[in-house]
Amino acid sequence: MATTKFYLDKRATRKDGKFPLKVSISHKGKTSLIGLDVFISAEHWNDKAEKITGGSNRIFLNNFITRRKLDIDTILLQLMERGEIGKMTVTQIKDKVLSELMPEEEQRESGVFIKSFLEFIGLKKKPNTIDVYKATLKKIQKFDPNYESLNFEDINREWLVSFDSFLAQTSPSKNARNIHLRNIRAVFNEAIDNEVTSSYPFRKFKIKGEATIKRSLTVEQIRMLFSYPVEEHQVQYLDMFKLIFYLIGINTVDLFSLTKENIEGGRLLYHRAKTGRLYDIKLEPEAVAIIEKYKGDSLLLNAMDRYESYRVYSARLNRMLQQIGYVSVGKNGKKTHKPLFPNITTYWARHTWATIASSLDIPKETIAAALGHGGNSVTDIYINFDQKKVDEANRRVIDYVLYGK
């Protein structure tokens, strides 16, 4: 026998701090949820009594949700009396309930893809992750003029192929386009888990990546870069690249968010913004010298004392790195740059560190630990990797690059 109860869905908080109230249907160990279009705050809901206890319209809302739950229970009872319910899945029961309670146009509205996409974004906590999903949503809005009425069933293999072609007009990189496709797939997976839909076009539409171009310098190239007689205004940008290298390829969002409190006992401790993983890096003298040279007021480095965000500074940092090289001055005084590495970015420091570490026969597990890879297996959880191995590896890489040791 299927059973029902009210469920305050706290997985997604609205801007007003309220949560959607739903009816939960349980059947054969599975659960499905039916929305009531009622939103209340947690303190105004008594889960034990299954009643709304606060708000000026609580009496009306209690009457409404009680009637709606009674309607659902009546439909389940009718299914049981006809001997149908035992052969049905919980999703089929939900579909039957919706078909009895709502006209066809309302059924379609209750399952729109965009609504689920927005709710999925609300489950995310990290600002960067939220921004990535919002970017995907904007792409969908530009691609499909009827995006507001998109249902999960509308997004089939043909739709995804067309959407990928649309993305290719402004984003030739297959891997960059795959970010948006994976975001859509994640919303589908969440919807399937919540019994919102059974449609899944990704069985036929496969997201295939392409090999990425290696972004690393040889030891000879990085030595050339580090010792190159750059222009005065380029010194700070080369120093920042060096610092990123000395800190084992730290991401710019993390580097330019550090404060003095992140340094303890000669070590840099921080949680990576992208993954939340804790990094523990010994500050070598070369890194300390650069940090002291560019000491900030409120943050560890002074770059953010002059720029509105790390993104703005990071973009300028990459542009300046790409200009380092031979400079000629024409008769009109205009400078012409012949870059050493025209495509270089701050990410190259991380890839270069790993490549040089590998060339020094530093074990792969040590390199992985230094870069923050792994950490998901049972072995990773129960074995505390010896941080001294990472410290020694970083010192070896720096000594090899700077002093040829």
Interatomic CA distance for residues 200 and 83, integer angstroms: 30
Per-residue pLDDT tens for 115-131?
888 888 888 767 778 88
Tokens encoding 396: 């070896």
Amino acid at 115: K
pLDDT tier for residue 15 given thresholds of 50, 70 and 90: low
Q: 3 in helix, strand or coil?
A: strand
Characterize the bridge pairing of strands 335-339 and 45-46: unpaired
pLDDT at 105 over 70: no
Interatomic CA distance for residues 196 and 90, integer angstroms: 11
Tokens encoding 43: 């303190």
Please say whether the beta carbons of 323 and 234 come within 8 A. yes
Interatomic CA distance for residues 181 and 184, integer angstroms: 5
Residue 156, phi then psi, degrees to nearest 5: -105, -170
Task: Indicate the domain borders of the chain.
Answer: 3-107, 113-203, 219-403
Cβ neighbors of 117 (< 8 A, separation 6 or more) are 133, 137, 140, 187
The DSSP-derived string for 135-178 is HHHHHHHHH-TTGGG-BGGG--HHHHHHHHHHHHTT---HHHHH
Tokens encoding 398: 């720096």
pLDDT at 108 over 60: no
pLDDT tier for residue 94 given thresholds of 50, 70 and 90: confident
Cβ neighbors of 389 (< 8 A, separation 6 or more) are 363, 366, 369
Tokens encoding 154: 């509308």
Could you give the count of Cα atoms lying within 13 Å of 205 in the half-sphere of its Cβ?
A: 19
**When comparing pLDDT for 333 and 278, which is higher?**
278
Per-residue pLDDT tens for 75-90?
999 988 888 898 888 8
pLDDT value at position 212? 57
pLDDT value at position 154? 83
Tokens encoding 94: 């939900």
The mean pLDDT of the chain is 85
pLDDT tier for residue 242 given thresholds of 50, 70 and 90: very high
Per-residue pLDDT tens for 346-404?
999 999 999 999 999 999 989 988 988 754 443 343 335 678 899 999 999 999 999 98
Interatomic CA distance for residues 232 and 322, integer angstroms: 15
End-to-end CA distance of the chain: 74
**Four-way CATH pick for 219-403: 3.30.2000, 2.40.50, 2.60.120, 1.10.443:** 1.10.443
Interatomic CA distance for residues 252 and 343, integer angstroms: 17
pTM, full prediction: 0.55
Interatomic CA distance for residues 241 and 253, integer angstroms: 14
32-41, 101-110, 167-176, 216-225, range with the lowest pLDDT: 101-110
- Helices and strands (H and E) in the chain: how many: 17, 10
pLDDT at 112 over 80: no
**When comparing pLDDT for 209 and 44, which is higher?**
44
Tokens encoding 109: 């509205």
pLDDT at 335 over 80: no
Largest CA distance in the chain: 95
pLDDT value at position 382? 35
pLDDT tier for residue 211 given thresholds of 50, 70 and 90: low
Interatomic CA distance for residues 385 and 393, integer angstroms: 13
Q: Which fold has domain 113-203?
A: DNA polymerase; domain 1 (1.10.150)
Please say whether the beta carbons of 273 and 262 come within 8 A. no
pLDDT at 96 over 90: no
pLDDT at 219 over 80: yes
Per-residue pLDDT tens for 294-322?
998 889 999 888 877 888 899 999 999 99
pLDDT at 111 over 50: no
Interatomic CA distance for residues 162 and 36, integer angstroms: 35
Number of Cβ within 10 Å of residue 400's Cβ equals 16
